[in-house]
Structure 1
Amino acid sequence: MSASPSRPARGALRLAGITAMALTCSLLIAPAAMAGPTPAPSAKASDVGALRAVAACDANGTTSTDSALATQLNGSLKAKMKGYMSAYRVSCARMVVKAVRDRGLNLRAAVIAITTTIVESSIDNISEELDHDSLGLFQQRASWGTRAERLNPDWATNAFLKKMQSKYPDEKWLTAPIGEVCQAVQVSAYPDRYQPQAGDAKIIVDAIVASQAPPDPVDYGVLDFTLSDSFDSNTNTRPVIRYGNSPMIPIIGDWDGDGVDTPSAYDPTTATFHLSNNPSNGQSQYNIKYGNRNSIPIVGDWDGDGKDNIGVRMGYSFYLRTTPITSTTETTTSYGYGNTNWIPVVGDWDGNGTDTPSAYDPATGIFYISNNPASGDADYHFKYGNDYSTPFAGDWDGDGKTNIGVRMGYTFYLRTSPVTSATETTRPVPFGNTADLPVIGDWNGDGTDTQGIVR
């Protein structure tokens, strides 16, 4: 609402001029200038508190979760949006995050996109042309698309991401400064405004992701395992193995102790592991139901006998099956480690021949490595890669000790310095496409793990 006009000031008479003999003369009187109405501030798209016409972001409206997150975020944000989040603005941010996830991109893309919307529109889907002919969350001009397209958060986000990827080929946006990426896409007259909002953008993305259930298994049809025996090969060095069907989750293990890992699969809809020492024939040798439906499957050598066994993570608890996969009986050991939303990472961290589950926090990009996870304590913890990367583990140099890695975009980043080291050395290995699922294993029995993908 614009401010009311100020009341004109009364004309205060003042002498225009006087001489020593002017007492008998008429004085010239000059009235003071009258103050005019105070102009209403012009509404700009970037004004966080301005009233302007907006379009819905989610056609289904806002949710109770949106409202709860708005309250939470107003207490945790530190920059422009602190105290200004609403259920509506959370719903708009939620739709941006969804578009990024649907595109199969690392969630750093969501942080970049949300940073841009904070600066450009205060996360409002603005439906009136305040700055030239710009519209929507990203304030895209008419050259970007039609009015309907620019006011569609999914279309607008994908248009932003497409230009981002064209400006930063080979996924260089994963490591470039966030403010720099925003400016490269938007070409703003105020390039310095983006980076200060990146921290809040991450807080918003983290809160939205944490509030959502894990995505449903992607329908990949038949699982195609494409594997390489060489770090230096960016394509498969052995025939593609077709094993398992959607919505099964690919797993890798040395089930018979011959030193060679083989692809297998876990069906989350039935909580059944389908294991094979010869997956190229498409047939499973062992079908074992273990844990609850939609548990997270894990694989490791829990007893040091040289053979991998299965397990699941349910909530924050790990359940390890201690009877061999050849046995129809079942014994289990269990313990809690990490938090519910952390991702399991399994490895033989000290080279004693026994694997132990550890965990990766996607919201911070920190690995919590433990040789005795039953104690609940981490022996080593360090950040590696970007937040929300895909974590994995393997023995990259054949020394018998597992190391960590992450996949960002289509590149595998292998940490080659030991987990005991405070220094960091890395080997990047491009392999597959961004939407592919990464797998790690010793495919030829040489004692060294190498990369693979499943599509």
Structure 2
Amino acid sequence: MSTSPARRPSARRPVAERVPRAASDGRGIVLGAIGLLLVVVLAWIITRPTPDPVAQTAHVEGTLPQAVGEWSGRQLANAAIVMHAGRDLGLSERDVRIGVMTAMGESSLRVVDYGDEAGPDSRGLFQQRTGWGDYEVRMDAYGSAVLFYRALAKLDGREGLAPTRVAHAVQINRDPEHYARWWGDAGDVVAAIDRAGVEVVVEPRV
């Protein structure tokens, strides 16, 4: 009597791992939210107005700290405007702090209408000479800050330089270490103004 050959067990097909519907749906929601956030951020970057030092000025609304160390009043308002200009241009927080430090070292955060022996035509928060721009712009806190930050943004490799050296490369001060003494103060002022939550309003220059 013949017997049929034994059947080989058939190879089992791999079964795809099933993801529970709830987990899959949750992952989709998270990815969708992240995508929407990226679209919103990109739209804001593309559509935000470009700071114009000639056509724009700024003022502070809200209550600033009464004093931060030796800095007070109009000095803190000017610092807030300098901070806002740097952020408007999309610069780093280190760059923003360098801007405040530089204005401290150049004018004690005051918009001054005089220069010195090295630059008799220097004016404003950053003691910018005639070649920087119109007198009205150099004498405006927001306008002069935009001029400063645009020059700073062209400085490649600045993250590897000490803050005072970055300021010196932009300002061409006699002493490259001149601004170092204000680095700590600049950090204190930036932090205090951020905590105060004031608003800097940019508007057309009249």
- TM above 0.5, yes or no, is yes
The equivalent residue for 1:176 is 161
Q: CA deviation at 1:96?
A: 0.2
CA gap of 1:124–1:213, structure 2 versus 1, over 3 A, is: closer
Partner secondary structure for residue 149 of structure 1: helix
Distance 1:163 1:213 in 2: 27
Aligned match of 1:86: 72
Contact between 1:63 and 1:87, CA under 8 Å: does it hold in 2? no
- For 1:49-64, list aligned pairs within 5 A: 60=59
Where 1:191 maps in the other structure, the secondary structure is coil
**Counterpart of 2:111 in 1: which secondary structure?**
coil
1:133 aligns with 2:121: yes
Mapping of 1:146-185 within 5 angstroms?
Answer: 146-168=134-156, 172-185=157-170
Q: Which residue among 171, 190, 193 is the counterpart of 1:205?
A: 190
Residue by residue over 1:100-131, the C-alpha shift from the partner in whole angstroms, topping out at 9 and shown as x without a partner, is: 11111111111111111111101001123444
The structure carrying a bigger helix percent of its residues is 2
| Shift in Å, 1:195 | 1.4
Give me the whole-angstrom Cα distance separating, in 1, the residues matched to 2:109 and 2:160. 24
Cα pair distance change 1:116/1:213, threshold 3 Å:
closer
Q: Deviations over 1:121-149 (max 9, x none)?
A: 01001123444100010000011111011
For the residue of structure 2 that corresponds to 1:143, the secondary structure is: helix
With over 3 angstroms needed to count, the CA separation of the structure-2 counterparts of 1:196 and 1:141, relative to structure 1, is: same
Amino acid at match of 2:151: K
1:160 shift after superposition:
1.1
> Shift in Å at residue 165 of structure 1?
1.7
Q: 1: CA distance between counterparts of 2:58 and 2:145? A: 16
Consecutive unaligned residues in structure 2, runs of 5 or more: 1-56, 201-206
Measured in 1, the distance between the counterparts of 2:160 and 2:194 equals: 21
Residue in 2 aligned with 1:65? Answer: 63
Asked if the contact 1:89/1:123 (under 8 Å) is kept, the reply is yes
Q: Is the 8 A contact 1:96 1:153 kept in 2?
A: yes
Structure 1 gap segments, 5+ residues each: 1-57, 75-82, 216-455
> 1:207 corresponds to which letter in structure 2?
A
Aligned position for 1:102: 88
Residues 213 and 125 (structure 1 numbering): CA distance in 2 closer, same or farther, change over 3 Å? closer
- Give the Cα–Cα distance (whole angstroms) in 2 for the partners of residues 107 and 139 of structure 1: 22
What displacement does 1:213 show?
6.7
- Give the letter aligned to residue 107 of structure 1: E
Query: After TM superposition, what 4+ stretches of structure 1 lie above 4 angstroms from structure 2?
Result: none
TM superposition shift of 1:187: 0.6
CA deviations on 1:376-415 (whole Å, 9 max, x unpaired) are: xxxxxxxxxxxxxxxxxxxxxxxxxxxxxxxxxxxxxxxx
What TM-score comes out, normalization by structure 2 length?
0.62
Matched, 1:120 2:118: no
The higher radius of gyration belongs to: 1
Q: Residue 111 of structure 1 aligns with which residue?
A: 97
Q: Higher strand fraction: Structure 1 or Structure 2? A: 1
**TM-score, normalisation: structure 1:** 0.29
**Residues 320-399 of structure 1: pairs in structure 2 closer than 5 A:** none
Check whether the contact 1:183–1:191 (CA below 8 A) recurs between aligned residues.
yes
The CA distance in 1 between the partners of 2:129 and 2:63, in whole Å, is: 32
Counterpart-to-counterpart distance in 2, 1:129 and 1:196: 21
Equivalent residue in structure 2 for 1:191, among 165, 176, 180: 176
Do the aligned partners of residues 144 and 213 (structure 1) sit closer, same or farther apart at CA in structure 2, a change above 3 Å counting? Answer: closer
The change in CA–CA distance for 1:173 and 1:209 in structure 2 (over 3 A counts) is farther
Q: RCO greater where, 1 or 2, for CA within 8 Å and sep 6 or more?
A: 2
Residues 164 and 176, structure 2, Cα contact 8 Å, conserved in 1:
yes
- Please give the root-mean-square deviation of Cα atoms over the aligned residues, in Å: 2.3
Give distance in 1, aligned partners of 2:155 and 2:158: 8
